[in-house]
Structure 1
Amino acid sequence: MQKVAILTFHRCINYGSYWQARCLAEGVGSMGVEAILLEHTSSRVNRAEWRCAMQPLLPAVTPKDDYPLYKAKIRKFFRSFAALPLSSPFSLEDPATMDDYPLVLVGSDEVWNLRHPWYGGYPLFYGEGLRCGRIASYGATFGSLGASERLDGWAEKLRRFSHLSVRDLHSERIIRDRLGLEPELVLDPCLQFPEAITASTDHRNREPYVAVYGHSFPIWFQKTIRGWAADRDYRLVSIGYRNDWTDEQWIDAGPEDFAGFVAGAEAVVTNFFHGCVFSLVNEKPFACVLSDYRTNKIRDLAMTVGADRHILTEETDPSTLNFILDNPLSPAISERITSLRRTSNAFLSHVLQ
C-alpha cells in the first residue's frame, strides 16, 4: 500500500487544527493509501504554542482560577495527538532525518502564512527539505497574509508542487497573481471528510444551549447575541475559552468534547473559521463576526458555500440575526458543499494516482 505523508499543523492546541489533520489523514486513508502525519518537532514552536494555550486572550490576563482548566484542556489534546497516525519524529528546523515518502500532501491549515506567529517562515511548508518523490497541496492557505505583501521568492518554491489546491479565494488569487497558475479550490478536510466528526458523542441530554466558540467578540455582538438568546430561554455556553458575557464556561473541553458539543447545540455563535465549518458539518444555524486575523478565510468560506448572510456586522438588521439563528441552513448551502466534495474528491483521486 502506498504511503502518503501529510504536512500540517497537527499539534496546535486548537480544535480546528486537530480535526482538519485527523479528517484529512482518515479521509486520504479511506482512498486506498496509508496516510501518515509528519511528526515535525520544535522546542521553539512548542513553547510558543503552550504559552498561547495558557494565555489565549492576551493582552487580557488569564484569571488564576482558569489556569488548571487550560492545563486540563492541553492534556486532553496531548491524549488525542497520541492516537493520530504519526511518522517518526524529526526536527522542523532540520528535516534531514525524516523518512522518505512517494508523496507529501502539504495542508490543510495556514501552512503558507508567513505572518503566523510561530510557524511563519519555515521553508518546510513550502516544500523545502521534504524527502519525497512528489509534493502536492490540499486545502492550503496563506491565511492573513495580505495579497500585496512581498513573498520574496517564497511563492516560487510552490512551482515544485505537482498539484496545487487551496481552501479559500484569497489564496487562489495569490497563486494566480504571483505564479500565473490556477490552483483547485477544495473544501477544508472537516467538510470534505466529516465522518469522524459526526461519529462523536453529542450532548443532547443537556438543556437547550447555544455553542459560543471564539473569544474577543465585539461588545455590540455580545449584546445582540445575549438579547436573542434571552428571548428564547437558551443558555450561552462558551467552549475552549472564557467569555464572561456567556452563561457558562467549558474551558477544559478536549477535541472530541468539542465535536459532540457543537452537534448538540441549538445554534452556534463564533468568530473562528472552524466554528463556521463545524456548524456547516452539523447543519446548525450559526452567526459569525469577523476578526482581523481571520477575515480572509471566514469571508471566503461563506462566499464559497453561499453562507454570506451568516456573517454579521454592527450594521446588520436584527431581523437578519433572528432569521439565520431561528431557521435551518438554506438547502442551497448543502447542495454547494456536496458539489465541492465531488470536486475535492476528484482532485485528491488524481493526486493519489
Structure 2
Amino acid sequence: MIGILTFYWADDYGGMLQAYALKRRLELMGERAEMVPYAPIKLRGRYWLCPLCAERKDWGLRYFFHRYMFKENLRQGWSFWARRWAMGRFRRKYLTAKRPARGVRDLLEPYRTVLVGSDQVWNPDITVDLDDAYIGNIPRREDCRLVAYGASLGGKRLLEGDREKFVRHVKEFSAISLRERTDAAYVEELLGRKVRDVLDPVLLLDAAEWRRAAKPPRERGYILLYLTEYHEPLLRCAQALSKELGRELLSLSRPSTLAGGYAQTVQTRSAGPAEFLGYLEHADCVLTNSFHGTAFSILMEKPFLAFRHSTRNNRLEDLLDKLGLSFHLAEEARPEEVLKRWAETDREEVRRRLAEERERSLRFLTESL
C-alpha cells in the first residue's frame, strides 16, 4: 500500500484535485494507494464556519478566531454549507472516508512507501512552521520509504533555523522532486543531491480522465472567472469581454475577490471539485489568476488568459514556460487579446510538450516506487 501525505483535507479546488490526481494516477499504474489520514487542526481549522487559525510565535503556536473570515462565511449563508457539503462528498467518494488520526505514532504503519506532496507541504507560511509530518520527522517502520512528489516551498527561502531542520530530515527521503524549477534548484543546493522538477499531479491525467469526475452544469454560454484574490485588471477585462461576446460572467471565486461593484457576475458559491471541473469544461473561455485554473484550462483546451497573482507566480510562470504558453500570462489585457492569443496558440505543440513533461514526471514516479 502506498500512502499519500498531502492537503487532502483542504476545502480548496486545487488542493483536493491534486490529491485526487496523484491517487488516480497510481491506481492507473496498478498500485494500491490511499490518503494518509493526517489533518491537523492548525491547518484544517481555517475552513470551518468559525475559522480557527494558527500562527507561530517564539514560544510556540498561537491559535486564534479569524473574525473577518467568519463574517465572510456568514454572508455566504446557505451556500457556505452547500459548498462544504460538496467538498466533503467529493473527499469521501474519491479520496478517503477515514476520520483524521488523533496522533502520528502509528500513522505510517500500513505503508511501504509514502508520497509526500504535492502542494505547498514545505512552505512554513502555509503549514504554520515546518510541519514534522510533511518533512519526514515522523515514526515509521524501517522498510517504509519516503518520496517527495511535486512538493513545494511556494518560492519561499527558509530561515536559518528552519533550514537546518529541513535539511536534517528531508535528506532521509529516498527520492525528491518539487513542483517548481526554482524550488528544485534551491533544495538541490541545500541537500547537495539530485532533485527533480515535475508536473503538478493534475497534469498527470488527461482531459478524458478528468471528465469522469466532472459534474456538468446546467448553464451554457458563459465566461468563467476563477480568482484567488481580487484583481481589478482581470475583472475589467472580463466585463469588456462579456459585452463583446454577449456572454454572462460566471464566477467560482470567493465573494471577497469580486469586490468593487461586479454585481452582474453570477456567483456559483456552492460548487465542489466535481462541479468545478464541469464548469471549466463547458466554459466558452476562462479568466483566472489561479495556477489550477490555468492548468485545467490547458488540459481542457479552453481559450484562457492568466493574470499575475500579487505574490504567487513561480509555478504559473514555470508551467506556461514549459508548455510554450508564456504569452498567455498578463498584467492587464484588452478583451480582444484573449481570443487573439488563443488563435495564435499552436495547440499541437502544446500537446506535444505536455506529453513530454508528463512522461518525464511519470518516469520519476515509477522509478521512485
**TM superposition score normalised by structure 1:** 0.88
Contact preservation (8 Å) 2:19, 2:95: no
Q: Take 1:280 and 1:56, find their aligned partners in 2: how far apart are those partners?
A: 35
Q: Write out per-residue CA displacement over residues 15-48 of structure 1, whole angstroms, 9 at most, x where no aligned residue.
A: 1111110111111122122101101132333322
**Shift, 1:233, TM fit:** 0.9
Q: Take 2:349 and 2:199, find their aligned partners in 1: how far apart are those partners?
A: 16
Aligned position for 2:23: 25
Q: Which amino acid in the other structure matches residue 178 of structure 2? A: V
Q: Write out per-residue CA displacement over residues 199-234 of structure 1, whole angstroms, 9 at most, x where no aligned residue.
A: 244647633111111243322221122112211112
Contact preservation (8 Å) 1:137, 1:165: yes
Contact preservation (8 Å) 2:121, 2:152: yes
Q: Take 1:336 and 1:144, find their aligned partners in 2: how far apart are those partners?
A: 24
Change (3 A) 1:59 1:255: closer
Change (3 A) 1:64 1:202: closer
Correspondence for 1:161 among 173, 184, 203: 173
- The reply on whether 1:251 has 2:269 as its aligned counterpart is yes
Change (3 A) 1:190 1:56: farther
Aligned position for 1:350: 367
Q: Take 2:351 and 2:51, find their aligned partners in 1: how far apart are those partners?
A: 34
Contact preservation (8 Å) 2:39, 2:100: yes
- The reply on whether 1:108 has 2:118 as its aligned counterpart is yes
Q: How many residues align?
A: 346
Change (3 A) 1:152 1:205: closer
Aligned position for 2:195: 183
- The reply on whether 1:123 has 2:132 as its aligned counterpart is yes
Contact preservation (8 Å) 2:37, 2:99: yes
Q: Which amino acid in the other structure matches residue 126 of structure 1? A: I
Identity %: 23
Q: Take 2:344 and 2:223, find their aligned partners in 1: how far apart are those partners?
A: 14
Q: Write out per-residue CA displacement over residues 128-175 of structure 1, whole angstroms, 9 at most, x where no aligned residue.
A: 105251100111111142x37543313312111111111211211221
Change (3 A) 1:76 1:189: same
Aligned position for 1:340: 357
- The reply on whether 1:209 has 2:227 as its aligned counterpart is no
Change (3 A) 1:185 1:57: farther
Change (3 A) 1:73 1:63: closer
Q: Take 1:148 and 1:160, find their aligned partners in 2: how far apart are those partners?
A: 18
Q: Write out per-residue CA displacement over residues 243-279 of structure 1, whole angstroms, 9 at most, x where no aligned residue.
A: 3525211011111001111000111111111101111
Contact preservation (8 Å) 2:154, 2:314: yes
Q: Which amino acid in the other structure matches residue 193 of structure 1? A: L
**What pairs with 1:77-92 in structure 2 (closer than 5 Å)?**
77-86=87-96, 91=101
**What pairs with 1:273-352 in structure 2 (closer than 5 Å)?**
273-314=291-332, 320-325=337-342, 330-352=347-369
Q: Take 1:140 and 1:59, find their aligned partners in 2: how far apart are those partners?
A: 27
**Shift, 1:66, TM fit:** 1.4
**TM superposition score normalised by structure 2:** 0.84
**Shift, 1:351, TM fit:** 1.4
Correspondence for 1:34 among 32, 35, 39: 32
SS in 1 for 2:154: coil
Q: Give ranges in structure 2 of 5+ residues lacking alignment.
A: 53-64
Q: Take 2:335 and 2:280, find their aligned partners in 1: how far apart are those partners?
A: 24
Contact preservation (8 Å) 2:9, 2:39: no
Aligned position for 2:83: 73
Aligned position for 1:199: 212
SS in 1 for 2:72: coil
**Shift, 1:50, TM fit:** 2.1
Q: How well do the aligned residues superpose, as a CA RMSD in angstroms?
A: 2.9
Aligned position for 2:7: 9
> Which ranges of 4 or more aligned residues in structure 1 deviate by more than 6 Å?
52-57
**Shift, 1:51, TM fit:** 5.1
Q: Write out per-residue CA displacement over residues 89-131 of structure 1, whole angstroms, 9 at most, x where no aligned residue.
A: 5647x41131421110001111111111x55421110111052
Correspondence for 2:248 among 223, 231, 235: 235
